[in-house]
Amino acid sequence: MAFSSPMKKSAWLLFGCIVATTSTSNAQVKGEEGTPMIPGTPYRVHDGSRPQPPQVQSAGALTTPAPGDAKVLFDGKSLDAWTVGGKEATWKVENGTLIASPGDLQTKDTFGAVQVHIEWRIPAGRQVNGQAGGNSGIFLMGLYEVQILESHTNKTYPDGQAGALYGQKPPLVNASTPQGEWQSYDIAFEPPVYKDGKVVTPAKATVIHNGVVVQHGEEYFGTSTYRNLASYPENHPTDGPIRLQFHGDPIEFRNIWVRPLGERDKAPAP
């Protein structure tokens, strides 16, 4: 097509600019440079250009009470189930809410395959930017992170947003609700299975965020790590604590419980 007048030509140039801006909008999300490729994908670890998961409206936290066979980890009062660095659990508790404070919080008990329920909230009015300002995480066995992040309006690399298996798998969709609102994760987790010092079945997680499935029996590539490809250690424990990350931000928690998953046709341990 020939341009018949200078005005038409400038209109086409303007159109071209708009198209270019739209198609590169993901590139504006800050990722990490120089990271390895994630196997089976055309994306790098913490890739800012990876497609942002579609946002879905959700009703916010499911406030499921602990079933009869659950171990209550936080009931609004006691931190008896927890420790920070092997010592007293020093995270703040205010008005029934647990507030992330210096040092990761981890359970005294250890677990293998589990169902976990946890409710969390980014306090209203947080200044957030990518991974900064609204970051925590729940680590199954102390090793496998499901990311907690302010992801309602805050964009980051998709393998680091709320509901991601951090550094490995973005959530299928973004079910995040705004700051100041309670959100929930219901997680079913299975540890890896080893045979003769090698992984035969990777660790696996299903994550339901605010009632929405965001990870469906997804396998971890290995234990959670930053900027690197996850891998499995030679020696792997059979169980480990549930750990809540302190990333410098006062993320709030309530109603936390866990159910160890038994095996079909086997009576539970007495």
Q: How far is the CB of 131 from Mg ion (least distance, A)?
A: 8
Q: How many residues bind Mg ion (CB under 5 A)?
A: 3
Query: Helix, strand or coil for residue 148?
Result: strand
Using CA atoms, how far residue 69 sits from 65, 82, 264, in Å, is 11, 19, 16
Alpha-carbon distance of 148 to 135, in angstroms, equals 6
Q: Judged by CB under 5 A, does residue 134 bind Mg ion? A: no
Q: How far is the CB of 253 from Mg ion (least distance, A)?
A: 14
Near Mg ion by CB under 5 A, which window of 130-138, 178-186, 224-232, 254-262? 130-138
Tokens encoding 228 = 């690197």
Nearer to Mg ion, 47 or 145 (CB): 145
Q: How far is the CB of 135 from Mg ion (least distance, A)?
A: 5
Nearer to Mg ion, 107 or 245 (CB): 245
Near Mg ion by CB under 5 A, which window of 10-18, 33-41, 93-101, 135-143? 135-143
Q: Judged by CB under 5 A, does residue 241 bind Mg ion? A: no
Nearer to Mg ion, 70 or 230 (CB): 230
Q: Judged by CB under 5 A, does residue 137 bind Mg ion? A: yes
Alpha-carbon distance of 161 to 165, in angstroms, equals 9
Outline where DSSP puts E strands in the chain: 71-74, 82-83, 92-94, 97-99, 105-107, 114-121, 135-140, 144-149, 183-190, 193-195, 198-201, 204-209, 212-219, 243-244, 252-260
Burial class (CB in 10 A: 0-12, 13-18, 19+), 114: buried
Characterise 39 by phi-psi region: left (phi > 0), alpha (psi -120 to 50), beta (else).
beta
Q: How far is the CB of 132 from Mg ion (least distance, A)?
A: 11
Nearer to Mg ion, 146 or 258 (CB): 146
Greatest C-alpha distance within the chain: 86
Report which residue's Cβ sits closest to Mg ion: 137
Near Mg ion by CB under 5 A, which window of 7-15, 134-142, 168-176, 195-203? 134-142
Q: Which residues bind Mg ion (CB under 5 A)?
A: 135, 137, 245
